[in-house]
Amino acid sequence: MKKSISLLQEQRSQLEEVISKGSAAARNIQHAQVLLKIDSGKDGPSWSDGQIKEAFGVSPSTVWRIRQRFLKHGLNDALDRHPQPERPEKIKVTGEQEAQLIALACTEAPTGYSQWSIRLIRKKRLTSIL
């Protein structure tokens, strides 16, 4: 069951300001619009999730997340984007590998080259690993 949200006049003003300035991130503006429409207080239109989906092109799960974040953490949390946690599978070079690359790049370039290139580093790293 979805819980209703009743915005205070101060919160409504803050959301309307975010929308009217137009200088916030598009996501923040969209979340402000959704919050204003799901407001079931005396000044709020109390739109259904379906109406919001049609008007703003957001999924029902997005409306649900905005509502939950507002109820649990407040207005600013419902508007702002959370930083994504680090994903170990996306890390291509470990700290140890980076240190080895830096140490190699700080040495003198091979004979015939004025400096290390990525291609030379790759070649050197592959031969030293095998």
Q: Are residues 75 and 115 in the same domain?
A: no
- Domain with 51, as residue range(s), is 9-79
Query: Minimal CA–CA distance to 49: which of 33, 61, 36?
Result: 61
Residue 130 placed within a domain? no
Please state, in angstroms and rounded to a whole number, the distance separating the CA atoms of residues 85 and 79: 18
- pTM for this prediction: 0.65
| pLDDT(130) > 70 | no
Average pLDDT, the chain: 88
Q: What are 40-46's contacts with CB under 8 Å, separation 24+?
A: 40/4, 40/5, 40/6, 41/5, 41/6, 41/7, 41/8, 43/7, 43/9, 43/12, 44/5, 44/6, 44/7, 44/12, 46/4
Judge whether 1 lies within some domain.
no
Q: Evaluate if residue 68 carries a pLDDT over 80.
A: yes
> Is 54 part of a structural domain of the chain?
yes
Does residue 21 sit in the same domain as residue 72? yes
Are residues 71 and 96 located together in one domain of the fold?
no
In a domain, residue 2? The reply is: no
Indicate whether 34 pLDDT > 90.
Answer: yes
Domains in the chain, number? 2
Residue 125 or residue 29, greater confidence? 29
Q: Note whether 68 and 30 are same-domain residues.
A: yes
Q: 70 with 98, same domain?
A: no
